[in-house]
Amino acid sequence: MSCSILIIPKNPNYLCSVQELQSTYTSIDSRLFSREKAIAMQNPTEVIFNGSLATQLGLTHLAEHPHRAAILSGQRPWGNSIPFAQAYAGHQFGHFTNLGDGRALLLGEWVTPQADRFDIQLKGSGPTRYSRRGDGLATLQAMLREYIISESMHGLGIPTSRSLSVVRTGLPVYRESEMQGAVLARVAKSHIRVGTFEYVAQLEDLELLRTFTHYTIERHYPDCLKNEHPVQAFLQSVVAAQASLVCEWMRVGFIHGVMNTDNMSVAGETIDYGPCAFMNGFDFGTVFSSIDTQGRYAFGRQAPIAQWNLAVLASALLPLLDQDHDKAVKLAQECINSFVPLYESLYENMMRRKLGIPKPIEGDLIIIDELTRWMQSTQADYTQTFWALESKSQRDHDLYFTAEFEKIARDLSELKRLHNIDEQESLEIMLAANPRFIPRNRWVEDALQAAQLCDYEPLHKILDAAKQPYLKLSHLPELYSLPEDQSNYRTFCGT
Ligand code: AMP
Ligand code: MG
């Protein structure tokens, strides 16, 4: 590809002072965004600020700023930045729609002292030209929920957008009832989605598609530019990143809930936390979203849906893959088909690690299959089942004393002995793959209820556990036990 109009400076001091944001995105094309302002708020007040994230990003001035809450709710400008909403499209539950940030503002790009570039975005900051019939607002509960879940994902070592702050707007938000409004400030490698490519492709401006694709490759997969076929290499890289991301979700029982193409980041991060949740009892059919009545985005469907979304990305890229349409389709098809074997091998390795098997051995897939069938038939707790396999002392449920489970545990031990797998090494692999803490719905809901009444202690307890989810913190024993049955639990979208 020849075009190179965008030179992304690596040195943060190159264009502007250290605490200023950059805005390379707005120099691509005016059709990609709309300049917008946040809705006016009388007295925005901070609920939570992520000091450790601010430190990690080198946002020292912001951390110490006396008007931090006003900046992080869009009431005061962040330096010279001019906020904008991004345009995009997307397949929502399989249907194409033109969208865009209907309740978010991108303040700009922060380049860290290590030269890493991140978008800083406000969510819940008021209507934009893309709001359609929405009010542009978000509830305190939904924004704190995104804060908790995204920070938990980060603690678990899973690529994700991060949460910098939540600020109460003081504005009412009308949902099932009147609720408190809030703005979340989030940080992501970018907010370029599969749906952004769909939006650009439907404009039928080949030069723009080329420029936009080049920008994305340069920003997220710069090594692909060295490849003889950069666009093909880019598509293959996104396929690999998504396969790996979804596999990580499956490792911890995370269900995204709305895997529309507009909610899939091409950088391979988990973004747009809506009706997502962590599964308790194992069931491939688990759905928490109240609007996913068909189970399109159920736990066990996340990999095929990711592949479906990637096929949409590939379609958008067709004109750049080859001038000959048939050849382009063939190349796209090859990339998309590679998802299945890649994902399967990642998944098998992931399950091996959960079982403490360091490398493929004969018979391992049989045990993985037996265990999966057993969990599906008994709906045993996904997280605690692996603790029960680590040691007998962690078997604290009747299910783990059934003949079926004991046989699986015995077969696994036998297999490891047969292959001379060191017990201590095996245990360490299990401890690194199987979290002690996941933000179960019950704990999250309790913390959100309390936060509404300005009691933030439960929220901070969850966030403490979420920082070190592979350890059991002795002062928070309640967060590692099982909540009572939550089989009817539902999370609501668009809140
Ligand atoms: P989501 O499913 O949350 O990713 O949102 C899908 C689309 O709806 C995006 O374009 C959002 O910006 C938009 N949207 C969601 N909630 C609202 C709202 N309350 N007001 C305006 N737009 C919204
Ligand atoms: Mg979204």
The rounded distance, in Å, linking the Cα atoms of 272 and 146 is 8
The ligand 1 site (C-beta within 6 Å) comprises 99-103, 130-131, 134-137, 258, 263, 272, 274, 493-494
Q: Kindly tell me if the per-residue pLDDT of 494 is higher than 80.
A: no
Atom 17 (ligand 1): residue with closest C-alpha?
134
7 confidence band (pLDDT: 50, 70, 90): very low
> At residue 153, what is the residue type?
M
Q: pLDDT band for position 495 (50/70/90)? A: low
- Which residue would you say has higher pLDDT here, 318 or 9? 318
Residue 492 has pLDDT above 60, yes or no: no
Q: What percent of the chain has pLDDT over 90?
A: 92
pLDDT of residue 290: 86
Q: So what's the pLDDT on residue 24? A: 98
Interval between CA 464 and ligand 1 midpoint (Å): 30
Looking at the CA of 257, name the nearest ligand: 1
Helices 302-321, 194-202: axis angle to 10 degrees equals 40
Taking only the tens place, the pLDDT of each residue in 194-204 is: 999 999 999 99
Tallying the residues shown for the chain, one arrives at: 495
Give me the helix-helix angle, 325-337 and 302-321, nearest 10°: 150
For residue 123, the ligand closest to its alpha carbon is 1
Structure tokens at 240: 């690999």
DSSP summary character for residue 88? -
Q: Report yes or no: 273 and 492 within 8 Å, Cβ to Cβ.
A: no
* Closest atom of ligand 1 relative to the 272 alpha carbon: 4
Ligand 1 center from residue 174 Cα (angstroms):
15
Two structure tokens written together for 5: 């109009």
Q: How many A from CA of 14 to the centre of ligand 1? A: 35
CB-count burial class (<10 Å; 0-12, 13-18, 19+) for 40: exposed
| DSSP count for the chain of H helices, then E strands | 16, 11
Tokens found for residue 220:
């997220």
Residue 471 pLDDT > 80: yes
Which whole number is the average pLDDT over 163-181? Answer: 97
Phi then psi dihedrals of residue 181, to 5 deg: -90, 155
In 3D space, the residue among 477, 450, 456, 455 whose CA is nearest the CA of residue 465 turns out to be: 477
Supply the pLDDT for residue 288. 87
Q: How far is the CA of 363 from the centre of ligand 1 (A)?
A: 47
**Closest-lying ligand 1 atom to the alpha carbon of residue 99:** 10
Q: The tokens of 176 are what?
A: 């099932």
User: What confidence category does residue 489 fall into, taking pLDDT thresholds of 50, 70 and 90?
Assistant: low
Nearest to 67 by CA among 88, 35, 41: 41
DSSP secondary-structure letter at 205? -
pLDDT at 490 over 80: no
Determine what percent of the chain is predicted with pLDDT higher than 70.
94
Instruction: Kindly give the number of the ligand 1 atom that is closest to the alpha carbon of 494.
Output: 16
Residues, CB within 5 angstroms of ligand 2 (ion): 263, 272
Q: Helices marked H in 221-260 — which ranges?
A: 230-252
Tokens of 449: 């209820």
- Is residue 11's pLDDT more than 50? no
Angstrom distances, CA of residue 273 to CA of 91, 148, 284, 321:
17, 10, 20, 32
Q: Which ligand ends up closest to the CA of 291?
A: 1
Q: Work out the end-to-end distance of the chain between its first and last CA atoms, rounded to an integer number of angstroms.
A: 42
Q: Which residues are catalytic?
A: 262
Beta bridge partners of 186: 121, 163
pLDDT of residue 19: 84
User: How many CB atoms sit inside 10 A of residue 289's CB?
Assistant: 22
How many CB atoms neighbour CB 314 within 10 A? 24
pLDDT at residue 63 in the model: 92
Query: In the numeric block, which tokens belong to residue 163?
Result: 């949460």
Looking at the DSSP assignment, which residues form a beta bridge with residue 144?
none
Average pLDDT estimate for 200-225? 98
pLDDT at 128 over 60: yes
What mean pLDDT is predicted for residues 365-370? 98
Which phi and psi angles does 426 have, rounded to 5°? -65, -45
Alpha-carbon distance of 120 to 117, in angstroms, equals: 10
Task: For residue 5, name the pLDDT band (cuts at 50, 70, 90).
Answer: very low
pLDDT of residue 484: 75
Which amino acid residue places its CA nearest to atom 15 of ligand 1? 494
* Strand locations in 20-67 (E): 33-35, 45-49
- Please tell me the predicted confidence (pLDDT) of residue 15: 36
Q: Which of 103, 128, 495 to mutate to test the pocket of ligand 1 (most atoms within 8 A of CB)?
A: 103
Distance 422 CA to ligand 1 centre (A): 51
